[in-house]
Amino acid sequence: MNLCTDQLAMLLAEPGQLVSVSHIVSDPRASVMADQAAAYPANRGGAEQIFLMRPDLVLASTYSARTSVGLLRRLGVRVVELPPARRLADVPEHLRTVGAALGQEARAEALVAQFDAGLEALRAHGGRAARAALYYPNGYTTGAGTLADDILSVAGFANVGAEAGVTGGGTLPLERLVLAAPEMIVTSAPYPGASRSEEILHHPALEALRGRAAARMVSDGEWICGLPQILRAVAVMADARKELAP
């Protein structure tokens, strides 16, 4: 019933082991496994709907709806909750937790080994940390203590949001972003339709800053969850760092 735990389950489960996944996992803007999710019935996280599917186990996040999680437990359903990944080192831990819950420990260990090897191959060793800013609709950014911050660090960047004192997620005023003069600006791919929250990404001051700094546009799905596929985001940023001055 959660975007991130569902994708971990799809990576590890045997055919026929999963009863349902969250409807959000079918959204390619948020999920890197949207195609695979189409093979499963979708749920919307409601306790009544999930209970009627008669599962032996429910995988949830510590941020999943507390009323649904509590009701499922009172009805006798086993619920395993995972906190959101806040660093790349959480990926192996979460793989092992879900692998144990599904009885797929060997598969989990194989994925952990692949992930660890892939991460080490991408990790920046030494050199100057270039300064990067994560900047999203409404001026949202992610600072210290986040998965995105760790991705930047591993790839050889210092996070402007963390420098500005942001812990977790928060707003970085456009004025502070411009004054920080980052070498790299990372923004998300726009969603279809019109959104006033995205208008800030086309502000003349930001456009001028882009004229002086390098930029990358990334998919939300590759940065949100602590999955092995997050190595794609690390690779994009590692390549971006190589294009900047040493």
- CB of 99 within 8 A of CB of 105? yes
- CB of 24 within 8 A of CB of 3? yes
pLDDT at residue 189, as a whole number = 82
Query: What confidence tens digit (pLDDT) does each residue in 29-77 have?
Result: 999 999 999 999 999 999 999 999 999 999 999 999 999 999 999 999 9
Distances (CA, A) of 226 to 42, 76, 108, 233: 21, 29, 14, 11
Which of 31, 80, 28, 71 is CA-nearest to residue 51? 71
- CB of 4 within 8 A of CB of 62? no
Phi, psi (degrees; rounded to nearest 5) at 225? -110, 150
Which of 128, 198, 135, 189 is CA-nearest to residue 161? 135
pTM value? 0.94
Point out the residues of the chain with pLDDT beneath 50. none
